[in-house]
Chains A and B, each alone.
Chain A
């Protein structure tokens, strides 16, 4: 197990009291696995990523039974120790890649920063040269052939796709064991998105790098994804292997999402009503008690005001009192 998160709760103090933005989140990522976390915007997907990276300021209250990376408890480490682990073994790429590049430094300078000292050999006099060579190598690996023009460029001269490639190049410079991709392609057109996904899949296949892909669109995830986790309003709804989860969702939320997919729509008679969940996602000030999907769930019953436990069945996990598509083997 590369990353093991058990019952992670992240709370924030608001004028109306403390709100659990994330509630008892479970997430496990194995070595060399592509794991996709799907949820609507505001569901707390990015918060999980930020908690792993240690980017959250002290105004967030983090509690967890486990927040382990390679058997090391991240919550018990000092900020410095944590950065030593995270900085080398975990990398992150973001949505809106351009804004994550320093506007006043050339791409070459920024990539050089990402090169680890331990990858260089010899004295300081040829380190500069080595760094430059390594940067060119990195650029080639993300599919940028015209490296000399790219090294001299400033971020404002790049397209969004190119900027994301630079972010990937900078992320893989450390040969991380886990790459967290927080909606890396949401602002891109589909062709560019496929390019980026292909790149990520390549590094996954070649170096056994695990990827945690965060996406808000079930229709735009990597086809190589082995496992899916569905999050809704700060609660994990369901997780499992991609195939099984899509074929037979246990959780009403997953089913509702699938019903709105393009593929499902094509199956339906023309002019028929699109089956959507009633209502909208609750705001952080008015979270329902119990299962947060409750008020919108077609299958909700009185018991749903109690938070369902995250049940594990074989390779699947779900948090629902009345799961769907479950052969009664109890």
Chain B
């Protein structure tokens, strides 16, 4: 296991290093001045001379890269070309908002997704199975932005059940600290905390539900297939031969083994979820990383693009590796598959 951990860790470090190389390279490849692209300071600016010196302008690429790295580690990721806001602070503030809806959507996708997949597998090729499959296929194939707009039109505007966009009613005057609105409410301790929380949840419901649809449909299909696969395995038969009840065979043997196969796919699922989160953030004006990054791409705000690329790739990378490690820790025979020896 320790060897496996080391390998995963080195994979993480090497990939992160490659990412910094890419981000650094982007500074050169983007049109315009390298110093402006990475620091966000225009040549007309008073500070430009200092910044250019600190970032080793005019020197060779290696000293530029090392200067870039030292800035990166110090948390000096430059400022936005548009509004002069420091990139790192903005990321820290928006990261929480993105993670909040992505995480909640993921949980919302897992909770019904897993049991529905199991049910579909247990009623293989019966009406229930067909119904679930049809629903999941249609849910999977409808684009998320279309879904979101229809939901806003019907649920938020026509029925008026929930607010259209934003994180919370601005009347509550919650200062963003962590980015996650629920956490911020608890940090702020406003006068009408219950009402503030209620407003925050009302704003959250629609984006989270829409975000959850696609991963849920995928989980249903993955779960159904892996459950079908596991139910045909010999150790299920021997479970029955031991005299175990159907419930115990399912719970002790079928489900954990089926989850193992689903777990392998969760990494790809999460990167899909993050991409969808960015779209949803734009539609619902959710002040997260996604909407900010989309805007910056639109406006060619290079320091922001660089920072956002770094953070989102690092996030997906971290999640994937964390999942790998959890998978190997939870399922011992995987470690054997990886080395062909214990």
Chain B residues whose C-beta falls within 8 Å of the C-beta of A86 in the assembled complex: 243
Is A277 at the interface (CB under 8 A from chain B)? no
Is A9 at the interface (CB under 8 A from chain B)? no
Is the pair A100, B342 in contact by a Cβ cutoff of 8 Å?
no
The answer to whether residues A167 and B238 also contact, given A87-B244, A156-B336 and a CB cut-off of 8 A, is: yes
Q: Mark B237-259, 1 if CB is under 8 A from A, else 0.
A: 11111111100100011001100
Is the pair B241, A91 in contact by a Cβ cutoff of 8 Å?
yes
Beyond A55-B241, A170-B238, 8 additional contacts (C-beta under 8 Å) are: A53-B240, A55-B237, A55-B240, A100-B237, A104-B260, A104-B332, A105-B256, A170-B242
In the complex, A170 Cα to B336 Cα: how many Å? 25
Is A65 at the interface (CB under 8 A from chain B)? no
Is B333 at the interface (CB under 8 A from chain A)? yes
Q: Mark A100-132, 1 if CB is under 8 A from B, else 0.
A: 111111000000011010000000000000000
The answer to whether residues A174 and B237 also contact, given A102-B253, A103-B257, A104-B333 and a CB cut-off of 8 A, is: no
177-206 of chain B: CB within 8 A of chain A: none
Is A157 at the interface (CB under 8 A from chain B)? yes
In the complex, A235 Cα to B252 Cα: how many Å? 39
Is the pair B257, A154 in contact by a Cβ cutoff of 8 Å?
no
Checking A53, A105, A116, A157 against B342 with a beta-carbon cut-off of 8 angstroms, the contacting residue is: A157
Q: Mark A154-171, 1 if CB is under 8 A from B, else 0.
A: 111100000000010011
Is the pair B243, A100 in contact by a Cβ cutoff of 8 Å?
no
Is B275 at the interface (CB under 8 A from chain A)? no
The answer to whether residues A53 and B257 also contact, given A104-B331, A104-B332 and a CB cut-off of 8 A, is: no
**A127–chain B nearest beta-carbon distance, Å:** 16
Is B235 at the interface (CB under 8 A from chain A)? yes
Is A99 at the interface (CB under 8 A from chain B)? yes
Chain A residues whose C-beta falls within 8 Å of the C-beta of B235 in the assembled complex: 99-103
The answer to whether residues A92 and B241 also contact, given A99-B235, A102-B235, A157-B342 and a CB cut-off of 8 A, is: yes
In the complex, A190 Cα to B332 Cα: how many Å? 31
Of the four ranges (under 10, 10 to 19, 20 to 34, 35 or more), the interface on chain A belongs to: 20 to 34
Is B234 at the interface (CB under 8 A from chain A)? yes
Chain A residues whose C-beta falls within 8 Å of the C-beta of B260 in the assembled complex: 104
The answer to whether residues A154 and B242 also contact, given A99-B235, A102-B235, A104-B256 and a CB cut-off of 8 A, is: no
Is A96 at the interface (CB under 8 A from chain B)? yes
Is the pair A100, B332 in contact by a Cβ cutoff of 8 Å?
no
Is A94 at the interface (CB under 8 A from chain B)? yes
The answer to whether residues A113 and B242 also contact, given A55-B237, A103-B333 and a CB cut-off of 8 A, is: yes
In the complex, A84 Cα to B252 Cα: how many Å? 19
Is the pair B257, A113 in contact by a Cβ cutoff of 8 Å?
no
**A135–chain B nearest beta-carbon distance, Å:** 13
Is A256 at the interface (CB under 8 A from chain B)? no
Is A88 at the interface (CB under 8 A from chain B)? yes
Is B233 at the interface (CB under 8 A from chain A)? yes
**B231–chain A nearest beta-carbon distance, Å:** 11
**B157–chain A nearest beta-carbon distance, Å:** 49
Is the pair B333, A154 in contact by a Cβ cutoff of 8 Å?
yes
Chain B residues whose C-beta falls within 8 Å of the C-beta of A156 in the assembled complex: 332-333, 336
Chain A residues whose C-beta falls within 8 Å of the C-beta of B237 in the assembled complex: 55, 94, 100
**A87–chain B nearest beta-carbon distance, Å:** 2
Is the pair B243, A83 in contact by a Cβ cutoff of 8 Å?
yes
Chain A residues whose C-beta falls within 8 Å of the C-beta of B243 in the assembled complex: 83-84, 86-88, 114, 116, 174
Is the pair B234, A99 in contact by a Cβ cutoff of 8 Å?
yes
Q: Mark B269-298, 1 if CB is under 8 A from A, else 0.
A: 000000000000000000000000000000
In the complex, A53 Cα to B237 Cα: how many Å? 10
With both beta carbons as reference points, the residue of chain B lying nearest to A87 in the complex is identified as B243
Is the pair B234, A100 in contact by a Cβ cutoff of 8 Å?
yes
Is the pair B252, A113 in contact by a Cβ cutoff of 8 Å?
yes
Chain A residues whose C-beta falls within 8 Å of the C-beta of B238 in the assembled complex: 92, 94, 100-101, 167, 170
In the complex, A8 Cα to B336 Cα: how many Å? 45
**A140–chain B nearest beta-carbon distance, Å:** 20
In the complex, A91 Cα to B257 Cα: how many Å? 24
The answer to whether residues A83 and B240 also contact, given A104-B333, A154-B333 and a CB cut-off of 8 A, is: yes
Q: Mark A222-233, 1 if CB is under 8 A from B, else 0.
A: 000000000000
Is the pair B242, A94 in contact by a Cβ cutoff of 8 Å?
no
Q: Mark A164-182, 1 if CB is under 8 A from B, else 0.
A: 0001001100100000000
295-318 of chain B: CB within 8 A of chain A: none
**A157–chain B nearest beta-carbon distance, Å:** 7
In the complex, A155 Cα to B256 Cα: how many Å? 15
In the complex, A92 Cα to B256 Cα: how many Å? 24
**A202–chain B nearest beta-carbon distance, Å:** 21
Chain B residues whose C-beta falls within 8 Å of the C-beta of A170 in the assembled complex: 238, 242
In the complex, A157 Cα to B336 Cα: how many Å? 9
Sample 6 A-B pairs with CB under 8 A, ordered by A number.
A87-B240, A91-B242, A104-B332, A104-B333, A154-B332, A156-B332
60-112 of chain A: CB within 8 A of chain B: 83-84, 86-88, 91-92, 94, 96, 99-105
Chain A residues whose C-beta falls within 8 Å of the C-beta of B252 in the assembled complex: 102, 105, 113
Chain A residues whose C-beta falls within 8 Å of the C-beta of B242 in the assembled complex: 87, 91, 113-114, 170
